[in-house]
Amino acid sequence: MSPLSFARHQFPPTIIQHAIWLYLRFTLSYRDVEELLAVRGIEVSYETVRRWVVKFGPAIAGNLRRLRPKPSPRWHLDEMVIRVSGRLMYLWRAVDDEGEVLEVLVQRRRDKAAARKLMRKLLKKHGFAPTQVTTDKLRSYGAVFRDIGLTARHEQGPRTNNRAEVSHQPVRRRERKMQRFKSSGSAQSFVSLHAAVYNTFNLQRHLVSRRTLRTFRAQAVADWQAATAAA
């Protein structure tokens, strides 16, 4: 895990870490984070918060991904429409059957080439092939699976892909809060950072006891602290 260097910054690491956590963890704008810090007597501009997220966010996300356990071999793939600078684009998303975000990819098209790029990134990133893949009825998925020789069971049908469709909701809320994404590059950067933090703090609280929930929350906080530790 790579330690972060907060050298030559006016504010101490704890404040920088907290500002980044607020922005990535909750549905807040940079101005919202500025206000929350101001209430605590910390005067920092929203532009400074933005620079902190841009500078430290990718390293923190990479550290968080390295702390995650191996995902389930049952994957759900889906795509949703987003608007970037007034243009319609597609957000391709892969999650496992427990809601862990495996990959998020912003692409211009919804075709076989885009589906192939998503699958190649998934297989390279995780190092194993799934045993089951659930998708919508887009034919490009089946064509790509045949081309790459994927032997996993392929499921399609009404409501079978609810897991992936529900996983779009946090990104959709952030898209509205940000008043749409400004560019495909910034959209890709944000959804990648958001996915890493979402995986760390996404707790299925309705499935566990209060005691187990406290344990999971403590572990999530510990992982965040480890991922943002200073050199």
Q: Three-class SS of residue 82?
A: strand
CA 82 to the chain's CA centroid: 15
Q: What burial class does residue 154 get, using C-beta atoms within 10 Å of its C-beta: 0-12 exposed, 13-18 middle, 19+ buried?
A: middle
Query: Tens digits of per-residue pLDDT, 11-59?
Result: 999 999 999 999 999 999 999 999 999 999 999 999 999 999 999 999 9
Cα(64)–Cα(62) distance, rounded to whole angstroms? 5
User: According to the model, what pLDDT value does residue 85 have?
Assistant: 84
Find out whether 33 and 19 touch, Cβ atoms under 8 Å: yes
Closest CA to 64 of 231, 218, 196: 196
| pLDDT tens by residue, 90-118 | 999 999 988 899 999 999 999 999 999 99
> Distance (Å, rounded) from C-alpha 168 to C-alpha 93?
8
Give the separation between CA 67 and CA 65, rounded to whole angstroms: 5
172-226 pLDDT, tens per residue? Answer: 888 888 878 888 898 999 999 999 999 999 877 666 788 888 888 899 999 999 9
Predicted confidence at residue 205, as pLDDT, reads 65
pLDDT higher than 90, residue 160: no
Alpha-carbon distance of 67 to 227, in angstroms, equals 8
Instruction: Please report the pLDDT score of residue 25 as a whole number.
Output: 93
Could you give all domains of the chain from N- to C-terminal order, each with its CATH number? 13-67+204-228 (no CATH), 74-182 (3.30.420.10)
Please state the pTM of the whole predicted model.
0.88
Residues near 219 by beta carbon (within 8 Å), at least 6 away in sequence: none
Asked if residues 19 and 44 have their Cβ atoms less than 8 Å apart, the reply is yes
